Structure 1
Amino acid sequence: MPDTAFAHPRLASIYDHFEGSRGDLPAYLGIAEELDVYHVLDIGCGTGSLAILLAECGRAVVGVDPAEASLEVAKSKPTTAKVTWIHGDATTVSGLGADLAMMTGNVAQVFLTDDDWARTLRAIHSALRPSGHLVFETRRPERRAWEEWAADPAHLTLDIPGIGPVEQRRMVTDVRLPYVSFRYTYRFLADDAVVTSDSTLRFRDRDEVESGLAANGFRVLDVREAPDRPGREFVFVTESVNT
């Protein structure tokens, strides 16, 4: 089940405002250009920011996400670019024949069990053409990002057009490595409504990620930095191989 932050209509409608300019996305556009791909699958596309940018560059794009509220936001965005939106997860796009699959925003960390992660990788493999590519990011565990989150409650209030002021707070609720749980609380000051969203992420080290990829049909071509977050992320560039 998707987190409330993505699945609740009130939270999905404000997601982009709190995420800001998405400085992480230009690097992914650059990778798509570097790999010279046309048909792109955006897994966990959320409100569609990357999918729309890719489509506006002339690519055929499929965005898939299990949170219907987020997809409704994506569909409502003013753009002339065509994206095919699918409500589901990677298992719903088998046989797509995509040149490239992408997971941004640390989507790879939401798969908590080994079985879920392996099932997702196998599903992505089946959605790619032979020798297609998978590119995704995941936080480096050694940076211990949860300690920064605990020290910074991310208290922020934004005045959102058509909605009014909304207050956001973050709290780390549990650390049992490799799992870290946290809660975002949103207060809509116009009517004093409060909506919370609880999340748990799994922090895998580089060796664990690489072994999982190899076991499920992928060869690692490169492991890069995220240019907007140096030293904080692994960005894996991989190629599907016969299994």
Structure 2
Amino acid sequence: MSQLAIPWPDTAEPLPSSVSEQAYWERWYEHPDLNLEWCDGRLEEVPVSDLLTAQVYYWLLELLLHYLRHHPAARIIGLETGFRLALPDGKVSIRKPDLGFIHRDNPFHGADTDNRYLGIPDLVIEALSDSGSANRRRDEVIKKGEYAAVGVREYFILHHNPERLAFYTLAASGVYVPIPPQQGVIHSRVFPGFRFRRADLQRRPSTAELRKDPIYADFIHPEWQQAEAVAEQA
């Protein structure tokens, strides 16, 4: 997912067919009009997700923010922050995931003022664009393979269609395997205690409702529950 793309002006020079990594970082990484990734010498424009998928993305992000407030186990990278993937076949990609999370045990954190991440995130989330088969393949096949190859421990693909949702964990073999739902609930293995009902990604209940749900109660406004319990005792 990305912000609304601004079309490349008709009078502008088209994107070059080949760009060095250094040129990408210097000229294209922070392009004012285009959100571009880089893959082994090629510029790739990041496709845009539809509005329903964006709602799924923001709902899960809200859950994660609540979780991290009460279980400060990670830092977030986002806002089109890129990281470098040195792949086993000798190729290099630079990806800008919609969301990345760096576990506190990750050996590299970087500075708060960095505009790129020089390590490997522990959890990556992509909001799928299904405007064409090539766009779906980027997230469901290409990026999935790249993220597994460099050791991203969990990979979530979000979409408004439940058949397109995918949640992977990295197996000892170095490939992703689906996270099996437990009674319909996805449990993160990277961030213990973070969980959500798969069906809730479509329903997207409010936090007022979630705080009374035992699946979410220990990280969605637990202080409210404590205050209510004290009030009832009083």
Both structures adopt the same fold (TM-score exceeding 0.5): no
Which structure would you say has the larger RCO, counting Cα contacts within 8 Å and 6 or more residues apart? 1
Give the TM-score, by structure 1 length. Answer: 0.26
Larger helix proportion of the pair: 1
From the two aligned structures, give the one with the greater strand fraction.
1
